[in-house]
Protein backbone atom coordinates (compact mmCIF):
# COMPACT_ATOMS: atom_id res chain seq x y z
CA UNK A 1 0.00 0.00 0.00
CA UNK A 2 1.36 3.43 -0.88
CA UNK A 3 0.54 5.07 2.46
CA UNK A 4 -1.50 7.80 0.77
CA UNK A 5 -5.04 8.27 1.89
CA UNK A 6 -7.22 8.18 -1.24
CA UNK A 7 -10.06 10.00 0.54
CA UNK A 8 -7.75 12.83 1.60
CA UNK A 9 -6.33 13.02 -1.93
CA UNK A 10 -9.85 13.27 -3.36
CA UNK A 11 -10.78 15.95 -0.81
CA UNK A 12 -7.68 17.96 -1.70
CA UNK A 13 -8.58 17.80 -5.39
CA UNK A 14 -11.98 19.34 -4.65
CA UNK A 15 -10.69 22.20 -2.50
CA UNK A 16 -9.37 25.53 -3.65
CA UNK A 17 -5.89 26.61 -2.51
CA UNK A 18 -7.53 28.98 -0.02
CA UNK A 19 -9.63 26.15 1.39
CA UNK A 20 -6.54 23.97 1.73
CA UNK A 21 -4.67 26.77 3.50
CA UNK A 22 -7.65 27.35 5.78
CA UNK A 23 -7.83 23.66 6.67
CA UNK A 24 -4.07 23.55 7.33
CA UNK A 25 -4.19 26.60 9.61
CA UNK A 26 -7.27 25.16 11.33
CA UNK A 27 -5.48 21.88 12.04
CA UNK A 28 -2.28 23.43 13.32
CA UNK A 29 -4.23 25.92 15.44
CA UNK A 30 -6.23 23.07 16.95
CA UNK A 31 -2.92 21.34 17.81
CA UNK A 32 -1.72 24.50 19.58
CA UNK A 33 -5.00 24.80 21.47
CA UNK A 34 -4.82 21.14 22.50
CA UNK A 35 -1.43 21.65 24.22
CA UNK A 36 -2.17 25.06 25.71
CA UNK A 37 -3.15 23.57 29.07
CA UNK A 38 0.12 21.59 29.19
CA UNK A 39 2.44 24.59 29.06
CA UNK A 40 3.46 24.39 32.74
CA UNK A 41 3.97 20.62 32.66
CA UNK A 42 7.41 19.09 33.08
CA UNK A 43 6.17 15.66 32.03
CA UNK A 44 8.35 14.52 29.10
CA UNK A 45 5.31 13.29 27.14
CA UNK A 46 3.61 16.67 27.54
CA UNK A 47 6.78 18.54 26.61
CA UNK A 48 7.03 16.38 23.46
CA UNK A 49 3.42 17.21 22.53
CA UNK A 50 4.13 20.92 22.98
CA UNK A 51 7.32 20.69 20.92
CA UNK A 52 5.45 18.86 18.17
CA UNK A 53 2.64 21.44 18.01
CA UNK A 54 4.87 24.52 18.04
CA UNK A 55 7.28 22.88 15.60
CA UNK A 56 4.46 22.09 13.20
CA UNK A 57 3.22 25.68 13.46
CA UNK A 58 6.71 27.00 12.71
CA UNK A 59 7.00 24.61 9.74
CA UNK A 60 3.69 25.85 8.31
CA UNK A 61 4.89 29.45 8.49
CA UNK A 62 8.35 28.66 7.14
CA UNK A 63 6.87 26.77 4.18
CA UNK A 64 4.56 29.68 3.45
CA UNK A 65 7.43 32.16 3.06
CA UNK A 66 8.81 30.98 -0.31
CA UNK A 67 5.31 31.36 -1.75
CA UNK A 68 5.02 34.87 -0.34
CA UNK A 69 8.41 35.84 -1.74
CA UNK A 70 7.78 34.30 -5.17
CA UNK A 71 7.81 36.94 -7.93
CA UNK A 72 4.67 35.35 -9.39
CA UNK A 73 2.75 35.95 -6.16
CA UNK A 74 0.23 38.72 -6.83
CA UNK A 75 -0.31 39.76 -3.21
CA UNK A 76 0.22 43.47 -2.57
CA UNK A 77 3.70 44.37 -1.33
CA UNK A 78 2.29 45.52 2.03
CA UNK A 79 0.63 42.15 2.56
CA UNK A 80 3.84 40.33 1.70
CA UNK A 81 5.81 42.46 4.16
CA UNK A 82 3.21 41.81 6.85
CA UNK A 83 3.32 38.06 6.28
CA UNK A 84 7.12 38.06 6.42
CA UNK A 85 7.03 39.99 9.69
CA UNK A 86 4.49 37.55 11.10
CA UNK A 87 6.73 34.64 10.14
CA UNK A 88 9.67 36.29 11.89
CA UNK A 89 7.55 36.80 15.01
CA UNK A 90 6.29 33.20 14.92
CA UNK A 91 9.87 31.95 14.74
CA UNK A 92 11.06 34.24 17.53
CA UNK A 93 8.13 33.42 19.83
CA UNK A 94 8.52 29.70 19.13
CA UNK A 95 12.22 29.96 20.05
CA UNK A 96 11.28 31.70 23.30
CA UNK A 97 8.81 28.93 24.15
CA UNK A 98 11.38 26.25 23.29
CA UNK A 99 13.94 27.92 25.55
CA UNK A 100 11.47 28.26 28.43
CA UNK A 101 11.43 32.05 28.14
CA UNK A 102 7.72 32.17 27.26
CA UNK A 103 4.73 29.95 27.96
CA UNK A 104 1.89 31.77 26.20
CA UNK A 105 0.62 30.13 23.04
CA UNK A 106 -2.05 32.82 22.73
CA UNK A 107 -0.14 35.01 20.26
CA UNK A 108 0.47 32.05 17.91
CA UNK A 109 -3.15 30.95 18.14
CA UNK A 110 -4.42 34.50 17.58
CA UNK A 111 -2.19 35.00 14.54
CA UNK A 112 -3.39 31.77 12.98
CA UNK A 113 -7.03 32.64 13.66
CA UNK A 114 -6.56 36.03 12.02
CA UNK A 115 -5.06 34.34 8.96
CA UNK A 116 -8.00 31.92 8.91
CA UNK A 117 -10.42 34.85 9.04
CA UNK A 118 -8.67 36.34 6.02
CA UNK A 119 -8.93 33.06 4.12
CA UNK A 120 -12.71 32.78 4.56
What would the pLDDT profile of 21-48 be if each residue is shown by its tens digit? 999 999 999 999 999 999 999 999 999 9
Q: Which fold has domain 6-119?
A: 1.20.120
Greatest Cα-to-Cα distance within the chain, rounded to the nearest angstrom: 46
Cβ distance 111 to 47 under 8 Å?
no
In the chain, where the domains are located: 6-119
8-25 pLDDT per residue, tens: 555 556 789 899 999 999
37 to each of 54, 65, 97, 100, how far by Cα in Å?
A: 14, 29, 14, 15
How much is the average pLDDT of 90-107?
97
Cβ distance 46 to 54 under 8 Å?
no
Amino acid sequence: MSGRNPYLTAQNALESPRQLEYRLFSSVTRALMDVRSLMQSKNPADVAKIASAIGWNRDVWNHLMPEVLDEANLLPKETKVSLINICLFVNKHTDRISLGQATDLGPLIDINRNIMDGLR
